[in-house]
Amino acid sequence: MKIPDIKKYIDLYGTENYLFKIIGPKVKERGYFLFEEFFEVCMWKSARQKQRYIENKDSVERISRNAFSEKDEKRKMEVLCQLKGVNVPMASALLTIVCPESYAVIDIRCLEMLTEMKHGIGNNPSIETWLKYLAKMREWAKENNVTPRELDMALYAKHKETQGYRNLYKKPNSKM
């Protein structure tokens, strides 16, 4: 049986890969999010505000275009946070999808890891905290020869590990 659009659905299965490899480059080239792209990113990061995201159908293109045209990082964040249901963590995800080489998703888990590593900047993901976070992420990404996005992924995974998310079948001290 021939399944129509099978490649499309295989791509969609890996949501994060799809967002970063397909959606991000399209948005970057165009300079703004289409509503469908915005909605997909929002649902990936947090589905809690689904109804509020839908309220952006008529404004997401204009607001995201304005945000991406801003040079000032603080102003860029302020503009994205004008979207309904979008707070600093969601806005950071929108920026990161488009420019993972420059941005990192701010997440409470990453902030907790910074605190545990004695580099805490607070656990309230405000714009001020995000600016400090972004500066640290860019600095450390450069030192470690990774992107800010790869660094936030590492912090997130490290947090999961410290919380006991591990292979329960692994023998202590084994390399499995």
pLDDT at 143: 94
pLDDT at 170: 56
Whether residue 155 lies inside any domain: the answer is: yes
Predicted TM-score (pTM) of this structure: 0.87
| Residue 82 near residue 63 (C-beta atoms within 8 A) | yes
- Using pLDDT thresholds of 50, 70 and 90, give the confidence band for residue 169: low
Listing DSSP states for 36-81 in one string gives HHHHHHHHHH-GGGHHHHHTTTTTHHHHHHHHHH--SHHHHHHHHT
Q: Are residues 78 and 7 in the same domain?
A: yes
Whether residue 171 lies inside any domain: the answer is: no
Q: Which of 98, 127, 150 is the last residue of a domain?
A: 98
- Using pLDDT thresholds of 50, 70 and 90, give the confidence band for residue 176: very low
How does pLDDT run across 24-74, given as a tens digit for each residue?
999 999 999 999 999 999 999 998 999 999 999 999 999 999 999 999 999
Task: Using a pLDDT cut of 70, give the percent of the chain over it.
Answer: 92
Query: Residue 159 is inside which H or E element, if any?
Result: helix 148-162
Give the structural domain span for 125.
101-166
Distance CA 76, CA 135 (A): 15
Q: Are residues 25 and 49 in the same domain?
A: yes
Whether residue 85 lies inside any domain: the answer is: yes
What domain count does the chain have? 2
pLDDT at 14 over 50: yes
Q: Are residues 10 and 68 in the same domain?
A: yes
Residues 6+ apart with CB under 8 A from 60: 32, 33, 34, 35, 38, 83
Q: Are residues 127 and 50 in the same domain?
A: no
Q: Are residues 40 and 66 in the same domain?
A: yes
Whether residue 173 lies inside any domain: the answer is: no
CA distances from 132 to 1, 5, 72, 124 (A): 54, 43, 14, 12
Q: Are residues 12 and 91 in the same domain?
A: yes
Distance CA 145, CA 141 (A): 6
Q: Are residues 14 and 86 in the same domain?
A: yes
Whether residue 46 lies inside any domain: the answer is: yes
Q: Are residues 119 and 94 in the same domain?
A: no
In this prediction, residues 86-102 reach a mean pLDDT of 97
Q: Are residues 92 and 8 in the same domain?
A: yes
Q: Are residues 25 and 64 in the same domain?
A: yes
Please choose, from the candidates 156, 159, 20, the residue with its C-alpha nearest in 3D space to the C-alpha of residue 98: 20
pLDDT at 160 over 90: no
Residue 165: CB atoms within 10 A of its CB come to 10
Q: Which of 46, 79, 98 is the last residue of a domain?
A: 98
Q: Are residues 109 and 84 in the same domain?
A: no
In this prediction, residues 74-103 reach a mean pLDDT of 98
Q: Are residues 94 and 144 in the same domain?
A: no
